[in-house]
């Protein structure tokens, strides 16, 4: 088989785990290890946490990202093998995802901007439940939600924290976002909503001094927020590579049938 030129230069990144570091040494010996700025593709070795870090680090580079599972949770990763890596990369299928942009204003008026590939989540900071007001496209949709919190999930993140709090699984190519409450107390039976990915979501914190709330975009946290705005950043398109038959679309579909 002719070796594909477009994936000649590979940059490897690995988590600190023993398995990932051993894989890094093996693959570097076989294929070399380019600087990410000069590489044709970035290969991440670890679990989903490492993959998210890699996607964030290369968000604006336009470089494709291919993961191999050498960590704990590996939903976003391909199976690990040292054999025929360039051929696997050439045969892989590409999924494009756009991140969320979170604009969080804290109670002191400071504005914090962060991107999220999986979700933007708001959590209560103390023993008291949060009181939240929800606006969609500048229209009030819920004057008061009393809950432990709420999250906005992308299709790629719908099988992560969103699923664990009983949110819906969203097909990767669906132009939708999941808005899901976390342990809702009032309205008790509200299960959330599916929104178009063009939606502009605003969550205002009521009684922010008495009932403080933190906002988290993937792994970036802002404490004591008063207002959080969330929208899809369509100026960014992240390229993820998956082996044939194991695409992100297929994995999300499998999750809906429990396997």
Encode pLDDT of 159-191 as tens digits.
Answer: 899 999 999 999 888 899 999 999 999 998 899
Give the pLDDT confidence score for residue 3 in this predicted structure.
Answer: 43
Same domain for 215 and 109: yes
Same domain for 128 and 79: no
Give the pLDDT confidence score for residue 103 in this predicted structure.
Answer: 98
Give the pLDDT confidence score for residue 1 in this predicted structure.
Answer: 39
**Of 48, 106, 224, 243, which is the active-site residue?**
48
How large is the average pLDDT for residues 143-150?
98
- Residue 81 sits in a domain of what CATH number? 3.40.50.10330
Rounded distance between C-alpha atoms, residue 170 and residue 160, angstroms = 11
By the 10 Å C-beta count (0-12 exposed, 13-18 middle, 19+ buried), 118 is classed as buried
Same domain for 9 and 72: yes
The yes-or-no verdict on residue 4 having pLDDT over 70 is no
Same domain for 44 and 164: no
Residue whose pair of structure tokens reads 């403080």 in the numeric block: 212
- Condensed to tens digits (0 to 9), the pLDDT of residues 203-215 reads 999 999 999 999 9
123, containing H or E segment? strand 119-124
Least confident of 100-104, 131-135, 153-157: 153-157
Same domain for 182 and 201: yes
Indicate if 48 belongs to the active site. yes
CB contact set of 189 (below 8 Å; sequence gap of 6+): none
Give the pLDDT confidence score for residue 259 in this predicted structure.
Answer: 58
Instruction: Give the total number of structural domains in the chain.
Output: 2
Same domain for 246 and 201: no
Q: Residue 41 — pLDDT band, cuts 50, 70, 90?
A: very high
Same domain for 129 and 87: no
By the 10 Å C-beta count (0-12 exposed, 13-18 middle, 19+ buried), 100 is classed as buried
- Condensed to tens digits (0 to 9), the pLDDT of residues 227-244 reads 999 999 999 999 999 998
* Containing structural domain, residue 211: 100-232
The yes-or-no verdict on residue 2 having pLDDT over 60 is no
Whether 70 and 198 have beta carbons less than 8 Å apart is answered as: no
Same domain for 188 and 226: yes
């Amino acid at each position: 088989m002719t070796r594909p030129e477009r994936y000649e230069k590979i940059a490897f990144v690995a988590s600190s785990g023993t398995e990932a570091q051993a894989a890094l040494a093996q693959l570097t010996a076989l294929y070399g290890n380019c600087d990410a700025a000069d590489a044709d593709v970035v290969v991440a070795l670890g679990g989903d946490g490492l993959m998210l870090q890699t996607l964030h680090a290369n968000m604006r580079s336009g470089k494709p990202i291919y993961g191999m599972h050498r960590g704990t949770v590996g939903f976003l990763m391909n199976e690990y093998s040292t054999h025929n890596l360039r051929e696997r990369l050439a045969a892989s299928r590409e999924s494009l995802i756009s991140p969320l942009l979170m604009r969080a204003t804290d109670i002191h008026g400071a504005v914090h901007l962060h991107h999220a590939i999986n979700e933007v989540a708001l959590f209560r900071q103390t023993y008291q439940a949060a009181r939240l007001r929800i606006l969609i496209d500048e229209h009030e949709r819920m004057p008061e939600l009393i809950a432990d919190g709420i999250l906005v999930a992308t299709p790629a993140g719908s099988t992560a924290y969103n699923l664990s709090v009983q949110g819906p699984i969203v097909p990767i190519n669906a132009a939708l976002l999941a808005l899901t409450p976390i342990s809702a107390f009032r309205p008790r039976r509200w299960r959330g909503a599916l929104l178009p990915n063009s939606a502009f979501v605003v969550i205002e914190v009521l009684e922010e001094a008495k009932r403080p709330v933190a906002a988290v975009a993937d792994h970036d946290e802002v404490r004591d927020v008063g207002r959080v705005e969330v929208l899809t950043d369509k100026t960014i398109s992240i390229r993820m590579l998956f082996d044939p038959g194991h695409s992100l679309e297929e994995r999300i579909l499998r999750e809906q049938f429990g396997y």
